[in-house]
Amino acid sequence: MENTEFDWYEIFTAGTHTDSNGNTQEFTAADLDSVVTNFIPKTSPLVIGHPKTNDPAWGWVSDLKVEDGKLFAKAEYVATEFAEAVEAKRYPNRSVRLEGEPGNYFLGHVGYLGGKPPAVAGMPWQFNEESKGAVFEFAASKRRVYLSINHQGTYKLFVHTLHGQ
């Protein structure tokens, strides 16, 4: 089985994003910069949806950058069959899991989603030819937020960004 790579593609954008419960979270350029600063290559998998435990990794984020208030990723060791499904627009929407707190976020994973409308508008399809932190998941269909606070007072943050056109 062969693997391939994904060149730079947008995974998130700075701005104010509102979840399904009406909770609003501001993500600044500094927040995006912190994701890049804290990034360790090949520790953030490409996954389908938001898995809870041992779902397979279909690839690994190899690099991150911020340009014009947008967070971009490159990925390697991407399973060919997964790359073909993304290119065929079976998973045109992406959702990132960010862990941490404002100004100090880490990329948990890049979740690929099927045909749901975007929660964060304006992000293109990819192919046009348990850590500390609060947890917000921005799901477009019902725009849900998930906030988990443990007994030590730490919390997890899921930022759920969907794309579609």
Residue by residue, pLDDT tens for the chain (165 residues) are 688 999 999 999 999 876 444 667 888 999 999 999 999 999 999 998 877 767 899 999 999 999 999 999 999 999 999 999 999 989 888 888 888 888 999 998 998 888 765 456 665 555 433 433 444 544 443 333 334 444 444 444 444 344 343
Q: How many domains does the chain have?
A: 1
Residue 98 lies in a domain: yes
Q: Which tokens belong to 86?
A: 């993304």
Residue matched to tokens 């730079």: 8
Range of the domain at 10: 3-157
| Cα gap 77→88, rounded to integer Å | 19
Residue 50 lies in a domain: yes
Q: Which tokens belong to 25?
A: 């979270």
Residue 163 lies in a domain: no
Residue 164 lies in a domain: no
107 close to 97: Cβ distance less than 8 angstroms: yes
Residue 138 lies in a domain: yes
Residue 140 lies in a domain: yes
State the pTM of this model: 0.72
